[in-house]
Amino acid sequence: MNDPYQSDVVFLLGFALAVFALPVFTILVFRWLRPSRPERLKREPYESGMPQASVPRRPFHMAYYNFALVFIVFEVETLLLFAIAPVLRDQGWAALAEVGIFVVLVALGLFYAWRKGALVWR
Amino acid sequence: MSGAATFAWGALWGAVSLTIVGALTTVLVLVERKISGRIQMRVGPMHTGPHGLLQTVADIVKLLFKEDVRPARADAMAFRLGPLLTAVPAVLSFAVIPFGAPLIMRDLNVGVLYFLAVPGVTAVGLLLAGWASYDNYSFLGGLRSSAQFISYEIPRTLAVVGVVMLAGSLRVSAVLEAQRTVPFLVLEPLGFVLYLVTTLAEVNRTPFDIPEAESELVAGYHTEYSGFRWALFFLAEYGALFAASAFATVLFLGGGNGPLLPAFVWFLVKTLAIVFLTMWIRWTLPRFRSDQLMRLAWKVFLPLSLVNLVLAGLAMQVVAG
């Protein structure tokens, strides 16, 4: 357990457990203290007082799919930058130019997606 | 420290963070209601306690004792998990917030990355809550929130990459140390603006509050929630707002660095100034339309953040000499 990274993970596990468990615990405790009188109309989904006009389990807008795809591409590229960013300072101009080339490639990708119309919300 | 002790130590700080977020939400909701009142020439809550100071305390007690209504056709498990997955990541990010020079719960060697990655889970929580509710408004709200969340995540992350380059480390304390003389705001003004505006979108604040646009979607993803589960969404919103403002302070304003006053005070002053700025914006500007919002993210902020990255590289070379 002397490896600092490993103990960080253990610490965060404990942290996450507490943060997750305490609200659950609160919900469970107040289950006995709060009223519970379910009835049919109360358990209808809200739609401005009308019966539900359409079912929310249905295909949705194609644009969401487009943006999700573009997101994955750019998010991965961003993550790659995180691998080099912390050590870039002491590497001089040559390394910076190399990262610059990478950024230009990312920009070209963005330009491509733009021209292909992937960034238009229709 | 042994494994079990580290685990318990982590759990203790988790409980502390949750308490901090709870207290912050209580205070910030009241502050926001008072500020919005002032901006709209009202007085805000006045009746519970002197000048309405106990209003949110009373609200919390009320929410705890409210009935937990769940739509009959809702997906029970996902409906329960949604608010938790929204609130928990917001609280988790408090593990790496440096409240003062020695006051940081855990100075992770990847602290900055942790802060960007963990609150990202919120997008899943919003989508889950919206989908599980079996309500058309919630469904649309959930979809829109996650689409907006992921779109603004990229320019926001790129803005932070610039800071990481200048600081030469992903460790929060190292980022602060690098700003001992000059805050990064001076070296990277564009990055600061990008971070601030995209953060507004990440925490669903006006002018980017499409996910819960009251006038079109009732309340968006939390339409069907009531009682304590509903309160969890607000815990998430104000917790994330404070955490993001705190990180704006860390990344661009030099954290607790400042003359005379102790680091803790400087840190809170800077962070609360940014929180106030977001509230001021919220009650002043109108809301974007859904397609304008996406266009802004991809066609304005993303190219700008790439430009910012190049500028950060040049600034880094100048500073490094």
Dump pLDDT digits (tens) for B54-65.
Answer: 888 888 888 888
Q: Is the dihedral of CA A56, B153, B35, B30 positive or negative?
A: positive
Nearest to A60 among B2, B143, B309 (CB): B143
Tokens coding A86: 């912390």
Task: Give residue A1's pLDDT band: very low, low, confident or very high (50, 70, 90).
Answer: very low
Cross-chain residue pair B3–A10, CB shorter than 8 Å: yes
Structural domain containing residue A55: 4-115
pLDDT band at B273 (very low <50, low <70, confident <90, very high): very high
What is the 3-state secondary structure of B172-203? HHHHHHHCCCCCHHHHCHHHHHHHHHHHHHHC
How far apart CA A11 and CA A2 sit, in angstroms, is 13
Q: Give the separation between CA B58 and CA B63, rounded to whole angstroms.
A: 9
**CB-CB contact of B263 with B49 (8 Å):** no
Output the domain CATH number for residue A104: 1.20.58.1610
Number of H helices, E strands in chain B: 14, 0
Cα-trace Rg, chain A? 25
Residue A33 lies in a domain: yes
User: CB-based contact (8 Å) between A2 and chain B?
Assistant: no
pLDDT in tens, B172-229: 888 888 888 788 887 888 989 999 988 888 877 767 766 666 666 776 777 778 788 8
Q: Which burial class, exposed, middle or buried, applies to A120 when counting CB atoms under 10 A from its CB (0-12, 13-18, 19+)? A: middle
Dump pLDDT digits (tens) for A40-65.
Answer: 777 777 777 777 777 777 777 777 88
Residue A93 counted as domain residue: yes
Chain A neighbours among B 142-171 (CB < 8 Å)?
A: 143, 147, 150-151, 153-154, 157-158, 161, 164-170
Provide the chain A residues 74-103 that lie in CB contact (below 8 A) with chain B. 74-75, 78, 81-82, 85-90, 93, 96, 99-100, 103
Question: Is the peptide bond preceding residue B71 cis, with omega within 30 degrees of 0?
Answer: no
Give the chain B residue nearest A64 (alpha carbons). B147
Is residue B316 within 8 angstroms of chain A, CB to CB? yes
Angle at B161 between CA B197 and CA A81, to 5 degrees: 130
Residue B249 counted as domain residue = yes
Among B40-49, B130-139, B231-240, the range with the most confident prediction by mean pLDDT is B231-240
Residue A28 lies in a domain: yes
Specify the number of domains making up chain B: 1
Cα pseudo-dihedral B56, B58, B60, B63, rounded to 10: -130
Residues B131 and A55: their CA atoms lie apart, in Å, by 11
In a domain, A121, yes or no: no
Dihedral angle sign, alpha carbons of residues B100, B101, B106, B112: positive
Phi, psi of A44 (to 5 degrees): -75, 145
Enclosing H/E stretch for B146: helix B136-167
Least confident piece of the model among A24-28, B181-185, B266-270? B181-185
What is the signed CA dihedral for A23, A28, A32, A35, rounded to 10 degrees?
A: 60
Answer whether residue B179 is part of any domain. yes
Please name the member of B106, B161, B294 whose beta carbon is closest to the beta carbon of A8: B106
Quote the tokens at residue B297: 């993210």
Residue A2 has pLDDT above 60, yes or no: no
pLDDT of B147 over the 80 cut: yes
Please judge whether B92 and A110 are an interchain contact, meaning their C-beta atoms are less than 8 angstroms apart.
no
Query: Does B307 lie at the interface with A, CB-CB under 8 angstroms?
Result: no
Better pLDDT: B205 or A74: A74
Which A-chain residues 9-48 have CB contacts (< 8 A) with chain B? 10-20, 22-24, 26-27, 30-31, 33-38, 40, 42-48
Tell me if B109 and A96 make a contact (CB, 8 A cut-off): no
User: What is the residue range of B174's domain?
Assistant: 67-320
Question: For position B213, what pLDDT does the model report?
Answer: 62
B52: left (phi over 0), alpha (psi -120 to 50) or beta: left
Is the CB of residue B245 less than 8 Å from the CB of residue B278? yes
Residue B132 lies in a domain: yes
In chain B, what residues touch A121 (CB-CB under 8 Å)?
A: 290-291, 294-295
If you ran DSSP here, which 8-state letter would residue B317 be given?
H
A24 contacts B164? CB cut-off 8 A = no
| Cα separation, B94 vs B238, whole angstroms | 12
State how many domains chain A has: 1
Q: Is B297 inside any structural domain?
A: yes
In this complex, is the C-beta atom of A73 within 8 Å of any C-beta atom belonging to chain B? no
In-domain check, residue B16 = no
ipTM: 0.83
Question: Is position A120 within any domain?
Answer: no
Residue A84 belongs to some domain of the structure = yes
User: What whole-number distance in Å separates Cα of residue A64 and Cα of residue B203?
Assistant: 20
Q: Which of A6, A10, A15, A111 to mutate to test the interface with B (most CBs of B within 10 A)?
A: A15
Q: Is B95 on the interface with A (CB under 8 A)?
A: yes
